[in-house]
Structures are given as structure tokens and as C-alpha cells.
Amino acid sequence: MAFAALTTGVSGVSAFSEGVNIVSDNIANVNSVGYKRSEGTFASLINDGTRTTSYNPGGVSISARRYVDQQGLPEPTQRSTDVAIRGSGFFVVRDNIATDNSSIEFTRAGNFVPDVNGNLVNTSGKTLLGIPLDADGNLTASPTDTNSYQPINTQAIAGTADPTQTSTLFGNLPANPTGGSLAAAIGQIADGTVTAQETTTVSIFDGQGNQTLVDVGFVQTGADEYRIEAVAQDPSLLDATAHPNGLLFSATARFNADGTLQELVTDSVAAGGAQTTPGTTVNTPGDLASIGVDVTYAASGNTQTVDFGVGTIASPDGLNQNDALFSVLDNTDGAVFGEVIGVDIREDGTVTANFDNGVSRDIFQVPLATFNNPNGLTADDGGVFRQNAESGNAQFSIAGRGGSGTLKSGAVEKSTVDLAQEFSDLIVNQRGFSANARVISTSDEILQELTNII
């Protein structure tokens, strides 16, 4: 009997000692970002040799259960690249020395900062993976295609350029302009024969980031009718054959009585034919009135197509003519990306790089992973988890979809450790350890007495 009590006491000491280990691990990680507390679960051991006439004790065992599905409170920080997940999702990461995605891991620790290469890496050395976005901000791959994930690099497009593809003019042309002179022929604004009554300036960029300033001049040629010419401020930047005197396009715009655009007639530019569709007329209500121009540069000889739009026929969304002052603006794409001065991560996981020249660009999308049983994940160093049969396979989506939750930039998820609870558990485990140690000492005394009798 004493031997059975002795082994039972040993199992109790071992179990409560393990309980102290679990609690101490929780306390040690009270400030670890994204840490999930563990709890010791005790279970009785039954000795199969127990008889009905006497009791043969079994003992106790303990197993650690990590509550991965518990969410910590968001803690504000001063860094925009710190991210907390409000939901059940996990960031997808890999070691910063890894070269592929064969060993991806998952974490809630969103304390990311750009490393020397511009990759977002947390303090555990885990690189945040994302889906690259194209120039229009669209995903380049499905969130389920993890092979397409790349390290989110804030310097990915620094020092590069996005060439201009479209430029849309909108605003008012005065019904009764003053100054200037009537243009009788194509290119007279470009060659200086005629002075434009009104002018607005548009900036276009080539693939190397070189800027060309284009003056778009307007001359009224009749009632409800304007001649429009686009001319480079520095004609030497453009090929002289394709663009005589820097002329990019020439067109005539006519307006309805209500001031909306009635039709756009593009002129045929003879020398080099800068316009891709010269001599065309757009006058169907609802159609977009635009001029496709093949811009050829003198230095490189490269050509890029820029679509100059003036709005929709019979709609006030573009150029209009009313009895008001001249006010024409442009919406032109294309930009030069300078040095990155900041990174923003939106609620939906869109990563935006902000450059020193005032330009911003969406560059990546942060995917999130969810699991049917997150508590079954295998924990690893650095606050990361690996999937296994118990957790089930990861299901990938972007933030806000698939139950993954949304992101909060400028915050990190605090540890789920409650010190008051942990110190209470520590006392319970210490008392349990002491009580079982007393069982061992008492059993030893009984055995000693038996030895003395013998």
C-alpha cells in the first residue's frame, strides 16, 4: 500500500511541477506580441490492477493546452507597419533566410518593420508574405495560390516609373472667351501662328520616369465649337517627324445647347501621324470621346500610347461649355516613384507605399489563413504555428473575407496572459506540489516503520 501511495505522490509532484512550468512560461511571455497562453489540464490515472477488496491508487497526469483561438487586446503603437488582426485569421510568414514558400508558417505577431532589404520582418525574424498588386491595384494571383506569395517589400518599386496611359480633361470652356485668335488650320497653335484663348497643362511620364509637359490649348472657332491642340512645351523632347513643332493631337469639340459635349472630331495630322485614329468622329450619346496618341520620344525613339479623353458624349462628366469662366483640370495617370517615406496597411490588407514626391501606390495585399481547429496547431519558436492533422489545413483568403477578420494598422495584439490568473494558478500548483511531496514523505515514514518492525 505504501509503495502505491509513494508512486501516486511522485506522479502528483511531477504533474504539479509541470503545471508550474506552464504557468512560468505564461508569465515569462506576458509582453510577447501575439502570445497565446497555455493551461495545464489534469487527468486521473487508473490502475488496472485495482481490486474490489482494497484500493490501489493510480495517480495523475497533466497535459498542456494552448488557447490559440483566444484573441488578445490591440495595443496602439507608433509604427504604421505594426498590424493587429481583429478576427480569427493568421499572418502567413516564412523565415527571412528562406528562398521559397515550401515551409510557410502562421503567426499573430504583427510587429513588422522593414529590414535592410525592405522586407517586412517581425522581431522573431519571420518575413510577412503577400500577394503582389498590378499597376491598377488588382491581385496578380489567387489568395489560394501560396506559391505566388512573395515577401512584402516596401522598396519594390522605389526609383521606378509608371508610364502615362490615360489623361482625361474635365471642366468648363467659356461660351464667350476673350483674347487669342481663331485657328484656321491644323497646327497653328503649335507653330505659333495662333495664340490659344485658354490653356491647361498636363504632365505625362515615359517608362524611365522622364516628364513631358504638354500644353492643351483651346480656341473658339464658332458658336458652340472649339479647336483643341496638345503641344509639348519643349518640342525637342519629341520626335520631330511624328510631332511637328511638338504637336501631339488636334481636334474639334462641338457642344449641345445645354453645354454638354455633342461630338469630337479628331484631325488627321499629316507629318508622321501622331494620332493613332486620325480623322474620326465620336457623337453617339454615352460613348467616350477620346484621342489615342502614339507619343514618340526623340532621345530614346521609344513610343507609348496615351489616351487623351474629353468626357462622354451628352454627359457633363468631361468638357462642357457654359457662360462661366475657364476652368479645365485633368486626371492623368503615370508617376515617378521616388524614395519610400512611409507604408500604410489598410483594414482590408492593402499595403500602400508612400514616396517622397507625394506619390502613393498600392503594392501588396496581405493574405490571412484560418483553421477549423486553431487550438490544434503546433507551436514553434518566435510565436509561430505550423499546421498538422489536428488543426486541419489552412484556408487562405484576404482580410475581411472567409471569416479571417480585418487588420488594424498601428497596433499589435497583446499577449492573452492574465497575470492575476497566472499567480493564482501558480499558488495552486505550488500547494499541490507541496501536498504531494508530503504524501511521498508520509509514505516514506510508513515504509521506515515497516522496516523497523521487520
Summarised one tens digit per residue, pLDDT across range 285-312 is 999 999 999 999 998 889 999 999 999 9
Residue type, 78: Q
> Average pLDDT in the 6-27 region?
84
- What are 436-447's pLDDT values in tens digits? 788 887 877 777
pLDDT digits (tens, 9 = 90+) for 229-275: 999 999 999 998 889 999 999 999 999 999 999 999 987 654 444 44
pLDDT of residue 296: 92
Domain 161-328: CATH class, spelled out: mainly beta
On whether the CB atoms of residues 361 and 155 are closer than 8 A, the answer is: no
Q: Distance (Å, rounded) from C-alpha 74 to C-alpha 394? A: 24
Residue 23, pLDDT > 80, answer: yes
Residue 277 binned pLDDT confidence (cut-offs 50, 70, 90): very low
Torsion of CA 395, 397, 399, 401, to 10 degrees: -90
| pLDDT at res. 3 | 66
Q: Is 267 helix (H, G, I), strand (E, B) or coil?
A: coil
Q: What is the pLDDT of residue 273?
A: 46
Range list of H helices, 183-310: none
Distance, CA of 366 to CA of 149 (rounded, Å): 9
- Integer-rounded Cα Rg, in Å, for the chain is 36
Cell numbers of 403, please? Answer: 471569416
Q: How confident is the model at residue 53 (pLDDT cuts 50, 70, 90)?
A: low
pLDDT, average across residues 180-194: 73
Whether the predicted pLDDT of 103 surpasses 60: yes
Name the band, by pLDDT with cuts 50, 70 and 90, for residue 12: confident
As a whole number of angstroms, the distance between CA 198 and CA 321 comes to 13
Say if residue 185's pLDDT is above 70: no
Task: Please report, as a single letter, which amino acid is at residue 266.
Answer: T
Q: What is the pLDDT of residue 50?
A: 52
Of 4-8, 48-52, 170-174, 246-250, give the range with the top mean pLDDT.
170-174
C-alpha–C-alpha distance, residues 19 and 419, integer Å: 15
Which DSSP symbol is given to 235? G
Q: Write the pLDDT tens digit of every residue in 218-241.
A: 999 888 999 999 999 999 999 988
Rounded to an integer, the average pLDDT of 89-108 is: 91
End-to-end CA distance of the chain: 16
Q: If you average pLDDT over residues 389-395, what whole number do you get?
A: 95
Distance CA 205, CA 213 (A): 9
pLDDT digits (tens, 9 = 90+) for 191-205: 888 889 999 999 999
Ranges of each domain in the chain:
2-67+416-453, 76-159+339-413, 161-328
Burial of residue 270 (number of CB atoms within 10 Å: 0-12, 13-18, 19+): exposed
| pLDDT tens by residue, 315-343 | 999 999 999 999 999 999 988 887 888 89
Confidence category of residue 136, pLDDT binned at 50, 70, 90? confident
Distance of alpha carbon 443 from alpha carbon 352, whole angstroms = 69
